[in-house]
Structure 1
Amino acid sequence: MKTIYIFLMFLVVVVAQIFVPAQLIFDQNKVLSKGVPYKFKTQPVDPSDPFKGKYIRLNFEANTAPSKDSTWSFGTPIYVGLGTDSLGFAKVDAISRELVEDSNFIKAKVDWYDLQDKIVHFSFPFDTFYMNETKAYDAELAYFEAQRDSLPNNTYAVVYVLHGKAVLDNVFINHVPIAEYVKKK
């Protein structure tokens, strides 16, 4: 009888270990297939972390919003409503402390509040783009070279948003995915 309980417990653990990652993959695929794509202007930086590996850290231009509420503090959750500008890039339409019933929002975290300019700065949850370790450094160099181009808005990330969830799809330089751009160089 004891072996049956042990076997059942083993089955529960196995099912949980399969179900949890499968659910995470399913959720991301749902956002990618049904979400709204937004192009975020970026400024990638290439850090290296012995635990995370090589990746491109992305700084977004659309990471601030005006607010007369000066009580924003570090780490506070913030709901960021998104729209697009005349060039098709993401812009912040609104911010809120409360959940907004709109599929075009992202939950972010407050970094700081600028009392002088009355602006709240925040971080999006999709600020890292993982790459093949051998290409991350080349991608950083390609980014800096692209920034010297006379073309405005030539580096951006495509992020899909659905009901508050966001998935970073790819990073582009001159409308070419960064991995392909690095291969061409």
Structure 2
Amino acid sequence: MKTKKIIFAVFALVVVLIPIYLIFQSEDVLTNGHQHKLRLEGYDPFDPFRGKFLRLRFESSVPCESDIKTGDQGFVLLEKDTSGYSHFSMVQKKRPSHSDYVEAKVLMVYSGKAELDFDNLNKFFINEDKAKEAEEILADYTRMAPDKIHMTIRVLDGEARIEDIIVKAKKLLDYIASGEHKHFKDDILKEMMERMNSETEALERQMEQIEELEQMEFVVPEAE
């Protein structure tokens, strides 16, 4: 009887300690991990029956080494481009010596690329009362203004966590609180008109330069 109590106590302790460990691990990654910006490519519709999460989509089809196979646990390298955004550049079997990589499961391999499952990067927790508006923001920006939305992640020794979703240089919840999204379509239309006017003015200047060249008289020197 005493042995059963000890086993039960140990089991209960493990059940309590695992969530605590996971919380501390996440805090460590978010505090000490390297920050990367990832472009968002879309979203999956919010499902209230699957929890208070926004399900995010980004580039998950990544070039891989020839020995990578379906079902493997791969090490996915991260690289930053000249604009400051990061992308997943390669999947390999060997653990890198640096810390800017993410462990991910290989779902499928085709044409030299691996389709990956990034378990900690495709779900963003949000309060249920903000979920609908957040979903609308993701839909509008990923479709009509993808250069103004991205997510930031922190990466440390293969572990990755979402830090936030950034909209027009604001954190998602701050952007929702600002009420700016009410004017989203008007702002987009205004930007499009300004861009069209700018392009029209540039074209008019080019036409004027062409007309000036056509009116100029060129004197060809006579051969001696």
Match of 2:10 in 1: 12
Question: Any stretches of 5+ residues in structure 1 without a counterpart?
Answer: none
Give the secondary-structure state (helix, strand or coil) at the position aligned to 1:100: coil
User: Please, which of 158, 165, 168 is the counterpart of residue 164 of structure 1?
Assistant: 158
Aligned residue pairs, count:
177
Distance, in Å, in 2 between the alignment partners of 1:173 and 1:12 is: 46
Question: Any stretches of 5+ residues in structure 2 without a counterpart?
Answer: 180-224
User: Please, which of 36, 41, 47 is the counterpart of residue 38 of structure 1?
Assistant: 36
Is 1:26 equivalent to 2:19 in the alignment? no
Deviations 1:57-97 (A, max 9, x none): 11113x23334628632x33221011211111112233202
Deviations 1:17-67 (A, max 9, x none): 3322211111111111111011111123333152x3132111113x23334
Contact 1:46-1:137 within 8 A present in 2 as well: no
Closer, same or farther in 2 for the Cα pair 1:60/1:26, shift >3 Å?
A: same
Matches within 5 A, 1:7-86: 8-9=6-7, 11-42=9-40, 43-50=42-49, 52-61=50-59, 63-67=60-64, 69=66, 72-73=69-70, 75-86=71-82
Identical counterparts, % of pairs: 23
Closer, same or farther in 2 for the Cα pair 1:148/1:8, shift >3 Å?
A: closer
Instruction: Tell me the CA shift for residue 111 of structure 1.
Output: 3.0
Closer, same or farther in 2 for the Cα pair 1:5/1:104, shift >3 Å?
A: same
Contact 2:134-2:172 within 8 A present in 1 as well: yes
Which protein, 1 or 2, shows the higher relative CO under an 8 Å CA cutoff with sep ≥ 6? 1
Contact 1:58-1:128 within 8 A present in 2 as well: yes
Give the secondary-structure state (helix, strand or coil) at the position aligned to 1:83: strand
Matches within 5 A, 1:125-144: 125=119, 126-144=121-139
Give the secondary-structure state (helix, strand or coil) at the position aligned to 1:153: helix
Match of 2:104 in 1: 108
Q: Supply the AA of the counterpart residue of 1:165.
A: E
Instruction: Tell me the CA shift for residue 145 of structure 1.
Output: 2.5
Question: Which TM-score applies when normalising by structure 1?
Answer: 0.81
Deviations 1:137-156 (A, max 9, x none): 11111122224555x52221
Contact 1:154-1:173 within 8 A present in 2 as well: yes
Instruction: Tell me the CA shift for residue 105 of structure 1.
Output: 0.8
Structure in which a larger fraction of residues adopt helix? 2
Deviations 1:83-126 (A, max 9, x none): 211111112233202322321110112233333xx332223222
Contact 2:38-2:151 within 8 A present in 1 as well: yes
Instruction: Tell me the CA shift for residue 8 of structure 1.
Output: 4.7
The ranges of structure 1 where at least 4 consecutive aligned residues each deviate by more than 3 angstroms after the TM superposition are: 4-15, 147-150
Q: Supply the AA of the counterpart residue of 1:18.
A: V
Larger radius of gyration: 2
